[in-house]
Structure 1
């Protein structure tokens, strides 16, 4: 949606650093959260950001962002190039259609369902991958995590192991569609993404046909083929394909970033490595956690996961559009205004998290209460809260558990090789691809 950057008679400021044509896109790629924090400090919590090619969006960074996100005047509004990637999945829907799909899909992501099936698959894949890394001199951490998390998601969906390389290549192409670069000529991101989507959808139709024929028992696709919404209505084939494609993309891209940053911090903070090792020494015979309840037995690992998500949330903002006039920070925001809310920035608000740039496990480790909406803000809020939250949480705790046990058995500790990593923000937040990790005796 195009916008002049004005709302009624009030002119709301634009973030500094805007360039012709590409707008803030270069800054967003390398320092999105820095740009948002600097802009909030200089301009207040309401300002325009240009995503390039005249696609401007009004950012709101108030401490009440979660409440704003739940306002009835807000609807999901993903740009067309992103809708081309995720299709008509729950990600981009509101209202009756969203409720239909979400109520049918949610039971497959319940802690009980995960404990019965996906958790064992995750544990097996994680263990095999870590064993492979131990035989390498060093490895690029983020690409390795992308392969790990995609394999987990594909195995859960029933994809044969022999096809993993082709699926990994297809998803690397699919996510190119996230970049708002116009044109669909061969070689351009939109063209390559559309071609990858067609390949993925063809394979998903084959898997769905197998599931409907009873040849994919226990897989996630088989569960969705039998799923019913609150009214007893099934999902259509296209609804299953769109949602599985989107879940595979979001489920592995976001988790890969989170796991990569966990390893990076364990590798560069010796006191953090000591703390997690001490946690495992206290109960050396504990089995790998297979449920949310079992994962809660590891408070250090839990705190590491929470602090990584606070500082390095992969999905750093949410698309919305205003359907009726509202007031934000004393400004009237007219209908049809394209809005963006960065829940990630809540994690850097010093009034909510003192000394926000400091990595501090005590924010989470000594808490007696369960995480609340603010603590889970990186996973969204309201009806669009992340379906895969429980999966991501168990995966992160299992990963830390298995990594520590494997390295301790081998008498090794992780360390970073090469320059200190930085966070990049497009297509999602992630560490620089060149960041390498190795293991040494310790």
Structure 2
């Protein structure tokens, strides 16, 4: 439990398996949640983890961990290697600056705002992409989802999709900053990430100038160029650039993983595919859902989305630091201690989800109450709860609707080639790159 107080910090243990120089990085890459689960079982809810090259973080996986995210003493704390990705976006800010940016950007992502307008774009891209996959013998699922999700968010933001390959490459390079490998020589992660960020920012600066001149009407860039916070203050050009860079990243890397896993579980578990098809058959005249209210007609699709989020959330860690000493689990935590939390960890808590390793639609399908904070932990908590929550939901539900309609019409079912993939956790959670899916006759 959390409280103010004084105890001995020196008794806090370190997770097993720490290696010289690289720390726990290899374990975090291939099974981060496994490391947290085994460490919690052996050491309790509080332990140190080395992210590599002496970058140590104190993990807390207690049931009240999300409560910390709402404390004023708990502030954002991105290490220098990740600052290159988030810049001075609202994802990296607290207090007045965060409220300024968040209040200006919020209206664009409300269910009644831009999120609803984005639904048509999402449906259009999904339809064309699925039609193209039908013509292929098989395809690499995560790469295909990265392309799809990036095209969606580029179109929403007003970025020409003809540049898709260049943007895809730039974001792949930008994410290399997740690895805290020292040095900035050409070829090293920090160098490549900085070069990618410079390209992204230069291009966004050009597009923002175009939007301010009326050349990107209806796009997110155009909306943000006219946005005002609660005090009537506009966003600066650099605030827009930093936030759009972060929105483009979150809007495709995390979505790509979720969408890929949805298709993977449908491909490997025929009973899930049958249940989804039965739901579609029961609503033969239904159109593609364009809002959360319309999507309520599809509880099976909702349940699949929720279970994928529970088991395969792409953003598995959150970094914070404390401005005043606190006590966690009987240990005194001094001010400025670097902390880490794992939203994904809660999905494997057997007190919340019995038999947590099992994919079980009944956890969600027959629910009448909305998901609670712990069940939404994959989208963060407190003032930094994910802006794109509504868009992510619609994207996942539309994918399932359009996929079922297209495959049933063609007499096909999804098929997973080879063994079931692993979930890789760095730079963000995603299925192994070699995973392929094919659409085959029933």
TM-score interval, normalised by the smaller of the two chains: over 0.9
Distance (Å, rounded) in 2 between the aligned partners of 1:237 and 1:161: 22
What's the counterpart of residue 4 of structure 1? none
What's the counterpart of residue 3 of structure 2? none
Distance (Å, rounded) in 2 between the aligned partners of 1:374 and 1:209: 41
Structure 1 residue 104 and structure 2 residue 104: aligned? yes
TM-score when scaled to structure 1? 0.97
What's the counterpart of residue 429 of structure 1? 429
- Superposed, 1:372-383 pairs within 5 Å as 372-383=372-383
Distance (Å, rounded) in 2 between the aligned partners of 1:401 and 1:140: 21
| CA deviation string 1:373-407 (max 9, x = no partner) | 12111101100000111111111001111111110
Structure 1 residue 23 and structure 2 residue 27: aligned? no
Distance (Å, rounded) in 2 between the aligned partners of 1:292 and 1:258: 18
- Superposed, 1:189-338 pairs within 5 Å as 189-338=189-338
Q: Which runs of 5+ in 2 are unaligned?
A: 1-6
Contact 1:158 1:216 in 2 (8 A): yes
- Superposed, 1:63-142 pairs within 5 Å as 63-114=63-114, 116-142=116-142
Q: What root-mean-square deviation, in Å, do the aligned CA atoms of Structure 1 and Structure 2 show?
A: 1.0
Contact 2:277 2:404 in 1 (8 A): yes
Three-state SS of the structure 1 residue aligned to 2:158 is coil
Contact 2:9 2:332 in 1 (8 A): no
Three-state SS of the structure 1 residue aligned to 2:49 is strand
Three-state SS of the structure 2 residue aligned to 1:53 is coil
Structure 1 residues 121, 9: CA separation in 2 closer, same or farther (over 3 Å shift)? closer
Three-state SS of the structure 1 residue aligned to 2:112 is helix
Contact 2:70 2:381 in 1 (8 A): yes
Contact 1:125 1:152 in 2 (8 A): yes
Distance (Å, rounded) in 1 between the aligned partners of 2:295 and 2:206: 35
The count of residues paired between Structure 1 and Structure 2 equals 436
Q: Which runs of 5+ in 1 are unaligned?
A: 1-6
Three-state SS of the structure 2 residue aligned to 1:217 is coil
Structure 1 residue 386 and structure 2 residue 395: aligned? no
Distance (Å, rounded) in 1 between the aligned partners of 2:255 and 2:262: 11
Structure 1 residues 335, 164: CA separation in 2 closer, same or farther (over 3 Å shift)? same
Contact 2:28 2:35 in 1 (8 A): yes
Contact 1:117 1:218 in 2 (8 A): no
Contact 2:107 2:114 in 1 (8 A): no
Three-state SS of the structure 1 residue aligned to 2:359 is coil
Distance (Å, rounded) in 2 between the aligned partners of 1:71 and 1:77: 14
Contact 2:9 2:331 in 1 (8 A): no
Give how far 1:419 is off. 2.5
Structure 1 residues 235, 278: CA separation in 2 closer, same or farther (over 3 Å shift)? same
Contact 2:8 2:331 in 1 (8 A): no
What's the counterpart of residue 35 of structure 1? 35
Three-state SS of the structure 1 residue aligned to 2:187 is coil
Three-state SS of the structure 1 residue aligned to 2:327 is strand
Give how far 1:9 is off. 5.1
Structure 1 residues 9, 156: CA separation in 2 closer, same or farther (over 3 Å shift)? closer
Tell which deviates more after alignment, 289-298 or 333-342.
Answer: 289-298
Contact 1:8 1:334 in 2 (8 A): no
Distance (Å, rounded) in 2 between the aligned partners of 1:138 and 1:43: 45
Tell which deviates more after alignment, 253-262 or 365-374.
Answer: 365-374
What's the counterpart of residue 57 of structure 1? 57
Contact 2:258 2:309 in 1 (8 A): yes
Distance (Å, rounded) in 1 between the aligned partners of 2:126 and 2:395: 9
| CA deviation string 1:147-183 (max 9, x = no partner) | 0000000011112232111111111111111211111
Give how far 1:69 is off. 2.1
Tell which deviates more after alignment, 261-270 or 111-120.
Answer: 111-120
Contact 2:115 2:391 in 1 (8 A): no
Structure 1 residues 9, 41: CA separation in 2 closer, same or farther (over 3 Å shift)? closer
Three-state SS of the structure 2 residue aligned to 1:288 is coil
